[in-house]
Amino acid sequence: MDKLFKLQERGTTVSTEVMAGITTFLTMVYIVIVNPGILSEAGMDFHGVFIATVLASIVATLIMGVFSNYPIVIAPGMGLNAYFAFSVVGGSGISWQVALGAVFVAGVLFVLLSLTSFRYALLDAIPTSLKHAITAGIGLFITFIGLQNAKIIVDSPATLLTLGDLSAPMTLLTIVGLVISLILMAYRVRGFLFIGMIITAIIALITGQMHFPDAIVSMPSGLSATAFQLDIGSVFTKGLYSVIFTFLLITLFDTTGTMLGVAEQANLLKDNKFPRSQGALLADAAGTTVGALLGTSPTSAYIESSAGVAIGGRTGLTAVVVSILLAVTLFFSPVVSVLAGIPAITAPALIIVGFLMLNVLRKIEWNDIEEAFPAFLIVVLMPLTYSIATGIGVGFIVYPILKLVRGKRKDVHPIFYLFAVLFFIQLAFFNH
């Protein structure tokens, strides 16, 4: 064990790593409830997505733990699942099978990029302000979805949107669940989102808004409804290049940023560089590719991994422990299905995760209009157009235009000009 994970070298023990794994698991296990709930909105089978979510997470996290030896967990990313369900499928009228095809293509490209140094050029080409804006925009988007799912915000013929009936039982329960999660968060309770879900579920059970499943445990089933159902050919006939690029772009820099942050927290960076970064990125690329084959949206490194690091997790053994615990959840699909079917249980998680993602807005130079205005467009257009790709596209087009007008063309990476042209073509001439 010590030889494989270098426990002594990193100043940790088996018991510490196990506790770190349990802590990380509690902070991120909400995704096995939320992700199937979101993707089922796109017409996918809940049980199939649930199993695909768990299996893709296990595969990617095991690769991360065993081959890269990092205490980092990988699972289907929040925001990417919303983009898949509500923008690609719901907004564009594309079938979920074709959307899975786009995820698979993005995953394969991610694998290829992970094997080359071009991944660094791609990351360097995107201005830091726009990276932060994309994260914040996705956060605002999924918060908006959470508010809609809970009917806190509803459609209005007069104003498009308005405040819903807060006295409606499910909406009121959502507010109660949100308050509970926020209190737990304020007191820095580990796994506050998952614990908040459980407490809300108990209240729903007591008030008759949720009924106990007929069985607590069952053998995993239903994967055949989503596995290998992807349609790769239609991805190219329908010209979904911006969708592929959006999946790839967000996964690449979101994963890289999260990995660097967690590695720095664990004091695993060497001269401010990320050792074995190729293997770490390959773990996420494999998770995205396998996930597309099985039936789920792209995977991403989870910032919740920092919870395990905070109590001493320093090696891949932490990730292996999380993988084992995720495997156990496969047998609790009846409970997961009931929990995910109650908006009041899942909506608070969407709202709070979105809030946490908005934290990066403080890193944008708001006094610099060339940086700030394109970032502003990305943030506001994602929820207003119900499309992450459209928000990114408009921001990527406006950014170089402002730089050119100000005589700062050399401040823009040559690759970024290519991004801008491709997005302009996509938005101007193709269905977006």
Report pLDDT digits (tens) over 40-77. 999 999 999 999 999 999 999 999 999 999 999 999 99
pLDDT of residue 250: 84
Which comes out higher in pLDDT, residue 204 or 114? Answer: 204
pLDDT of residue 272: 61
Rounded to two decimals, the pTM is 0.84
| Tokens read off for 127 | 């201005």
- Tens digit of pLDDT for each residue in 29-38? 999 999 999 9
Over residues 109-122, the mean pLDDT reads 84
Q: 41, 100, 43, 28: which is closest to 291 by C-alpha?
A: 100
pLDDT of residue 360: 87
- Going by pLDDT thresholds of 50, 70 and 90, the confidence category of residue 115 is confident
- Tens digit of pLDDT for each residue in 307-325? 888 888 999 999 999 999 9
**Average pLDDT for the chain:** 90
pLDDT of residue 14: 93
Q: What letter represents residue 382's amino acid?
A: M
- Tens digit of pLDDT for each residue in 220-278? 999 999 999 999 999 999 888 889 988 998 888 778 878 877 887 788 877 666 777 78
- Tens digit of pLDDT for each residue in 326-353? 999 999 999 999 998 899 998 999 899 8
| Tokens read off for 346 | 């899942």
DSSP state of 358: G
